[in-house]
Structure 1
């Protein structure tokens, strides 16, 4: 490639040129949701981040196999090894089968992702559908002497592994510090060391979700699923593994240890992590009372929300920050995103109405390459958006009759907006998405404004002012231009 993509590799802690193992094929695995509750803003950020990467890699011509897992077993309430399974607990409280809980919230997750215009992955495997592969992984680690059985459960021997390899290579943690700061919990005396993690857990009598294994009737440890399913669908070595930054330790650290312990080396070439969403500097979470799910954003029903926000406003809000930076939620920030997105959409629609001139008298040169350069620099979506805002200002200057665009530049601007705003950033045009109803509504508004224009021509100021004032009261902005009038919904 003339301008190759560079991405930040969490493992090497630097930006690296992306070179697929088997070009043009790319294998990408992203940790998906644990489906025991409604999708929230924390689910939206990795989904949108890796949707951007998925879209861009495909635009570059790569054939991407994108695997995003569904955790529906083994994610325990207190930590990775102890407590009640979150889905089983929900099922017990609501007197449902665990898979009823999974299906209900998975359907709602898919609806939220569709609203956010997140493309479906190539494969969406469930942890509960890959118990055999996880048992095989545990057996391989046992055979290599880096795990041990204890009272029907199987644990990874972290200290023994660290003597040959480095446990902490992804997170930068030191095993001595971890041993000194990790306390033994009640019920974990079957472990040789408190930092050892479960590969297989023996199910207690009350545990609903259980499968037979060589060691006990039980269930796999949370960390096993991604290692087993990543290898099944992407091979022993694949290109990209992604997820939220909160998964670096212990989940992804344990994944690396499992792959090295089972096959001798890490499966993953590039580790990528998006940063967190915070509220007033605190991580969004149920325990802090600042948790807002996506449906509440879309309806405006949460007490912390000043209004409802469209899915595209949420998507734009997330993409306005670099994926590795923290995003702090506020109504002001979301309202600014809403207005910013509206400006870009207005500029895009204005391109359809602008008549080409003999020459271009605004600076729009190199816009396409500037956007490519930003994306190739670790998916810098906020810089892409800033370039589109610059272009929007130039378009508005032309729309206002203060400058002109030559035909070739007018066509180029249309193509660039279509490519970057819609195809790669994944925004949708509400006007286009609304179909015939929106089209009919627009024609009705244009008719009203033409009646107003005629009234002005006839010096019927009372009718002209009444149309304008009543539309303004209904939430429309009316702007008079040299060619008539324009409108938009505020």
Structure 2
């Protein structure tokens, strides 16, 4: 059931019909976390977008190999090419092995992605686990005249690359002459032939903890080379989709293209995807402004800018309400609105799983409602096929939710839409929410058995007209984030919206 999916390609700067190199197989790579700090929301938006794409491609029939790496070496203080490795710096301060730091932050990253219901990638390689591939790639670039050794370090030669029609800067839209003018007067470039040349291998200073032998020196790989080596190993010389946050377009992804073309002789990636940044109350999210949230602070409501706690599914739903290429602004008002919207869908999800088709010979098919439901199915696909337009896709789900609630409230007989459409409503509503958007129910603090027991008491007290006890049960449900639905045909509970 492969759909005509269109994706915005950063390289061509337009939406393109997605056509994998080897259908139905899709190779997809996203630059994973740099594990020297706790994961922040900007990164999470990127990983959530690629999780969504992974899920949707699988949903529409593709077989996807999704690679998300762990960057555990090569990031230097200030993100430059000189200075101390960030992981090594923390290890020295805490008197630990660098890989203990790596493991701590990798574990935290996995806990957070689990909270947001993200699927594990097909492969999760680490940079330190692929040093052989990186060294072999450097040798290949030196042999082709695209890299040179200088004082034990190795640099990629931008000028030689462009002489071979490399077009360095084409992804980000940067002009090489302008870049040269911007960097010409910078200090610390004496090892390089050109100030734009970037490190493939850095000779380690004596105090540098993370270091390995190579033909050029005892040192460590450059940050940009890691992703090229790992993506090539697991996805081949050319693969379908690559991306990350928009801040990685330059220089990281620009360097990846140059390296990969230099080593393999072909354009490495068919479709480049980049997510936009997060803002808070209209300001760019950053640690220096004090408006950057850790996921744990969102879940507990402990940050001074938060008025309350917000659950993982509330935050995921909030992010899905905005297109991945648009700026997303965090505010308490927006998060509270997302909380209500998510709980409405979660209630529908809980309800539809309980609904059963009941044939009725005396009920005529309501053609208008039946067609509207079926149009909403297609509207969901049309939105997702339009460069993952989740905001429009969610709108179609709320239209389906209207019919779920009508059936639940006995306002619409299942037979009025026919058994086939009813079955589709049940399966597609659940699949769209759980399998594609990855929105699931967040269970109340008490077990279902306790909730059922309290509802039985509620029914008994209602029959006995013990209104004070009824109010006490209602108040208890409210304290648990739940509400009692006292309807003519049944008494049930729901997530409080």
Sort the TM-score into its range (normalised by shorter chain).
Answer: over 0.9
1:349 aligned residue: 350
Q: Provide the C-alpha distance between the structure 2 equivalents of 1:116 and 1:451, rounded to a whole number of angstroms.
A: 39
Asked if residue 487 in structure 1 is aligned to residue 493 in structure 2, the reply is yes
1:114-193 map, 5 Å:
114-164=114-164, 165-193=166-194
Deviation at 1:469, TM superposition (A): 5.4
Asked if residue 393 in structure 1 is aligned to residue 402 in structure 2, the reply is yes
Q: Provide the C-alpha distance between the structure 1 equivalents of 2:161 and 2:478, rounded to a whole number of angstroms.
A: 69
Mapped contact 1:241–1:272 kept (Cα < 8 A): yes
SS across alignment from 2:79 = coil
Query: Residue 385 of structure 2: which of 343, 368, 376 is its match?
Result: 376
What residue ranges of structure 1 are gaps of 5+ in the alignment? none
- Cα 1:204–1:419 change in 2 (3 A) is same
1:301-380 map, 5 Å:
301-351=302-352, 352-353=354-355, 356=358, 358=363, 359-360=365-366, 362=369, 363-380=372-389
Query: Residue 478 of structure 1: which of 458, 469, 484 is its match?
Result: 484
SS across alignment from 1:148 = strand
Mapped contact 1:453–1:484 kept (Cα < 8 A): no
2:63 aligned residue: 63
- Cα 1:219–1:364 change in 2 (3 A) is same
Q: Provide the C-alpha distance between the structure 2 equivalents of 1:348 and 1:330, rounded to a whole number of angstroms.
A: 27
Instruction: State the TM-score, normalizing by the size of structure 2.
Output: 0.92
Q: Provide the C-alpha distance between the structure 1 equivalents of 2:289 and 2:202, rounded to a whole number of angstroms.
A: 30
Mapped contact 2:301–2:308 kept (Cα < 8 A): yes
The number of equivalent residue pairs is: 484
- Cα 1:213–1:184 change in 2 (3 A) is farther
Asked if residue 417 in structure 1 is aligned to residue 429 in structure 2, the reply is yes
- Cα 1:17–1:179 change in 2 (3 A) is same
- Cα 1:215–1:469 change in 2 (3 A) is closer
**Cα deviation code 1:39-59 (max 9, x no counterpart):** 121221111111111111112
2:264 aligned residue: 263
1:219-230 map, 5 Å:
219-230=220-231
Query: Residue 430 of structure 1: which of 435, 442, 464 is its match?
Result: 442
Q: Provide the C-alpha distance between the structure 1 equivalents of 2:320 and 2:283, rounded to a whole number of angstroms.
A: 20
**Cα deviation code 1:380-436 (max 9, x no counterpart):** 1111111011122233344444444325233221111111000111112224x98xx
Mapped contact 1:80–1:221 kept (Cα < 8 A): no
1:289-308 map, 5 Å:
289-308=290-309
Deviation at 1:125, TM superposition (A): 0.7
Mapped contact 2:376–2:399 kept (Cα < 8 A): no
Deviation at 1:341, TM superposition (A): 0.9
Q: Provide the C-alpha distance between the structure 1 equivalents of 2:95 and 2:411, rounded to a whole number of angstroms.
A: 67
**Cα deviation code 1:279-320 (max 9, x no counterpart):** 233332223322211122222222222222221112111111
- Cα 1:413–1:84 change in 2 (3 A) is same
SS across alignment from 2:223 = coil
**Cα deviation code 1:171-219 (max 9, x no counterpart):** 0110011111125443322222221111111111111111111111111
Deviation at 1:2, TM superposition (A): 6.8
Deviation at 1:467, TM superposition (A): 4.3
Q: Provide the C-alpha distance between the structure 2 equivalents of 1:426 and 1:466, rounded to a whole number of angstroms.
A: 35
Q: Provide the C-alpha distance between the structure 2 equivalents of 1:419 and 1:469, rounded to a whole number of angstroms.
A: 34
1:280 aligned residue: 281
Q: Provide the C-alpha distance between the structure 2 equivalents of 1:377 and 1:366, rounded to a whole number of angstroms.
A: 16
Mapped contact 1:9–1:270 kept (Cα < 8 A): yes
Q: Provide the C-alpha distance between the structure 1 equivalents of 2:480 and 2:45, rounded to a whole number of angstroms.
A: 34
Mapped contact 1:68–1:125 kept (Cα < 8 A): yes
**Cα deviation code 1:199-252 (max 9, x no counterpart):** 111111111111111111111110000001111111111111121111111100
1:36-115 map, 5 Å:
36-115=36-115
Mapped contact 2:346–2:495 kept (Cα < 8 A): no
2:6 aligned residue: 6
2:18 aligned residue: 18
- Cα 1:473–1:40 change in 2 (3 A) is closer
Deviation at 1:141, TM superposition (A): 1.2
Q: Provide the C-alpha distance between the structure 2 equivalents of 1:380 and 1:427, rounded to a whole number of angstroms.
A: 16
1:447 aligned residue: 456
What residue ranges of structure 2 are gaps of 5+ in the alignment? none
